[in-house]
Structure 1
């Protein structure tokens, strides 16, 4: 692995460097400039707070092509009945804070430090990060957020306080923006997203798509 210099914003070329289990670098900082540069190059941070910052570009990459989205009959009924009200970019701060605080089965703690949260909030202010809010009875019960790099949406995290809330928000987002995004970067495998149509593709294919679509519209 390559140790990053805090005074220089650079990374190893992920197309040429495999690293260890997808980790291509460590160290550096969580500045807005470094985080944005990382996502533009298919790299994302994932680490335990208080430990060294780790930078990842796994091979293969877990992604969803919008036209391959799978919606079960039960979820379609929930969406058609408008069990939830879904908005976008209305409360980014609360969405990301809930993503940090929600308890997850088999997971202790969170990788979302205060510094990283503030960096993502700043990126949201620049129009580079987006959130989806899922409401029920005027209460925020689910949501997700991510980084937009041209026509690639890099999904970061989601949360749900009631059954199907995050899934409804994700499906709504994909169906609403299916012509806006070429690919959704899900980063690492989860059964939840696989059930919605996400699949693995080679890292080189993901990076090719990312660089081809890396233009703000």
Structure 2
């Protein structure tokens, strides 16, 4: 474990230190500096590393141990919530309004958090990733209204979740369950959820040792998969389908 974070060079193609050398305190902090350029971000995610920092800070790069993940066949919705979904007219789509989703995530209040870690620079970096076909959003619609959603980065057959939000109660849970459903159909086994919290645990998230996570990521990011927008491939998923017991 490092006693202090590694300082990244200005070269966006420079390698990161191995994620297993991240600090114990603050837990998981690996490196500092650099930028949010597309090659650096993709390199980070490929190696189980993600940026997380606030306005006024330099970029901070993390790889916590253990790691919170969802297995795509293991997202849980309560029986009561499934019953509600049977009567729901909501529909789920992908990559139809990525910028709205990341903006809503940035503006959503978080318990115990003042402000947002999705800074204007962070927001633009992920919009650029989306325009290059590497970042995706899954969106829940109530008619024409955006009710909730989730966004993250996809490399190979690995999805790295970043943030989700709800304008209407339960919409973020629907977005997560719909994402897991489609990914499972496509042969993607994992969703990275980064850092644990009680809400993620309640939805089926589980902790895995960082070493295990890094081994899984190393295999999954090299598997072939189409890049570009998910809109047509994802299609339109009625949320009533998520009420079925066969769907996590």
Whether TM exceeds 0.5 here: the answer is yes
Q: Which runs of 5+ in 2 are unaligned?
A: 226-248
Give the 3-state SS of the residue equivalent to 2:73 in structure 1: helix
Matches within 5 A, 1:45-194: 45-180=51-186, 181-194=188-201
Q: Are 2:18 and 1:18 equivalent residues in the alignment?
A: no
* Deviation for aligned residue 1:133: 0.9
TM-score, normalised to structure 1's length? 0.94
Q: Deviations over 1:157-210 (max 9, x none)?
A: 001111101111111111122133121100001222111111100000000000
* Deviation for aligned residue 1:81: 2.1
Q: Are 2:6 and 1:2 equivalent residues in the alignment?
A: yes
Give the 3-state SS of the residue equivalent to 2:184 in structure 1: coil
- Residue matched to 1:213: 220
Give the 3-state SS of the residue equivalent to 2:55 in structure 1: coil
TM-score, normalised to structure 2's length? 0.83
**Which stretch of structure 1 is more off in the superposition, 200-209 or 80-89?**
80-89
- Residue matched to 2:240: none
* Deviation for aligned residue 1:28: 0.8
How far apart, CA to CA, are the structure 2 residues paired with 1:131 and 1:198? 19
- Contact 2:183–2:189 (CA under 8 A) maintained in structure 1: no
> How many residues of Structure 1 are paired with residues of Structure 2 in the alignment?
216
Give the 3-state SS of the residue equivalent to 1:142 in structure 2: strand
How far apart, CA to CA, are the structure 2 residues paired with 1:152 and 1:106? 30
Give the 3-state SS of the residue equivalent to 1:86 in structure 2: strand
Give the 3-state SS of the residue equivalent to 1:178 in structure 2: helix
How far apart, CA to CA, are the structure 2 residues paired with 1:179 and 1:210? 19
- Residue matched to 1:202: 209
Q: Which runs of 5+ in 1 are unaligned?
A: none
- Residue matched to 2:48: 42
- Contact 2:29–2:62 (CA under 8 A) maintained in structure 1: yes
How far apart, CA to CA, are the structure 1 residues paired with 2:105 and 2:91? 19
Moved >6 Å (runs of 4+)? none
Note the aligned Cα RMSD (angstroms). Answer: 1.3
